[in-house]
Amino acid sequence: MDSRIYFDNNATTQVDERVSEIMHPFERECYGNPNSLHSFGMEVRSHLATALDRLYAGISADDEDTVLVNGCATEGNNNILKSAWITQILNGRKKQIITSRVEHHSVSHTAAFLASMGVEVVEIPVDKNGVADAGALRELIDPDKTALVSVVWANSETGLMNPIRELCGIARENGVLFHTDAVQAVGKIPVSVRDIPVDYLTFTAHKFHGPKGVGGLYIRRGAPFVPLLHGGDQMGGLRSGTVNVSGAVGMGLAMELAVASLPYENTAVRKLRDSFEDTILTLEGTFAVGSRDLRTPNTSFISFKGIEGEAMLWDLNRAGLAASTGSACASESLEANPLFEAMNLNKDLSHTGIRFSLSRMTTESEVNRAAEIVKNAVLRLRAISTADQI
């Protein structure tokens, strides 16, 4: 039994046991290539078809739409921005791509690359609540100029959810394509492309108790699309390369389980997160970033006045609690974080924010122990810093 506590589920999650089990046979028993014409291929194809059905159902995609299995959300995000560049800008009359100031690097760095290729990239700011400002999009969007609007559904560091319904509505009113990176939304809140008619949506299995290295990309029927990978014409020629069959099968079941767990996520996990946060916030000099009702139910980003974030992480880690100072894949300091800058928090945060992200596997006893560990760390680190000042 692992006695450590894992509160870094926005970085990645533990694979659900049922997902693990369903993936096993695709290594030694059912190992055919799904594109082969013999029985080995055929038996795999049927499992892949079930997995795709589960993915379509999970996000309420229409049969006429496309859901591709690919390598990860980074691939999906790259694909959509580069595809919009090729179809709307290089081969069209548009000039501009709009993103927001709170994107994951897989969007912001791709946008920066496109800017270096001459694309006009504009970022919508966040409002005082820390969510993308829909009013700013209304002002910036230009039907003659804007090729694509791409806004992350939920921010990975704070869990703050952007007003995707409104942003997507503005893009549609202007006849502009709309993409959302739904990596931190799937499995935490309902994600339905029928309800919110985005043109493109990305997700990645390992954020909802599925395996790593496999993701999904939704493309609405008729939405322009150019593949990133050309080759063997797998996935209808839209994503070449032999499909990661065990990954796809695992992601399909993980999606089904994640959707089934949404009520639990929004009651029990939310309650655990709130109770953890309430306990931590009794400590002096602490505050949580972003109001709770605007955040995904599993995430708390807490600032501890006067404590250096990395020192705190080490202390927590030594005591058996895994958390993070933000995105594991972002190395920038918190001071440079545009979200905190926009919320006017940098001056208060200065290296003191810690992200705690829970999951449906988190238990009450873990929450209680974690809160104790955090309290002790804060007291110890503050005592050290006071001793240093004497």
Residues near ligand 7TS, by CB under 6 A? 10-11, 72-74, 104, 106, 152, 156, 181, 183-184, 204, 206, 215, 327-329
The owner of tokens 């920038």 is 332
Question: Measured from the CB atom, is 94 or 206 closer to ligand 7TS?
Answer: 206
* Cα 246 from chain centre: 22
Is 329 marked active-site? yes
Question: Measured from the CB atom, is 66 or 70 closer to ligand 7TS?
Answer: 70
Cβ neighbors of 312 (< 8 A, separation 6 or more) are 304, 352, 354, 377, 378, 381
Q: Alpha-carbon dihedral of residues 308, 302, 182, 244, nearest 10 degrees? A: 50
Neighbouring-strand partners of residue 304: 286
Smallest distance from ligand 7TS to CB 40, Å: 30
Strands of the chain, DSSP E: 5-6, 66-70, 96-100, 120-124, 146-150, 177-181, 200-204, 215-219, 286-288, 299-304, 321-322, 353-357
Question: Measured from the CB atom, is 215 or 353 closer to ligand 7TS?
Answer: 215
Cβ neighbors of 198 (< 8 A, separation 6 or more) are 164, 168, 178, 179, 180, 218, 220
Smallest distance from ligand 7TS to CB 336, Å: 16
The catalytic residue among 30, 72, 168, 329 is: 329
- CA gap 47, 42 in Å, rounded: 9
Smallest distance from ligand 7TS to CB 105, Å: 8
Smallest distance from ligand 7TS to CB 271, Å: 23
Smallest distance from ligand 7TS to CB 275, Å: 23
Question: Measured from the CB atom, is 42 or 328 closer to ligand 7TS?
Answer: 328
Helix (H) / strand (E) containing 27: helix 25-28
Question: Measured from the CB atom, is 44 or 217 closer to ligand 7TS?
Answer: 217
**Which positions are annotated as active-site residues?**
329
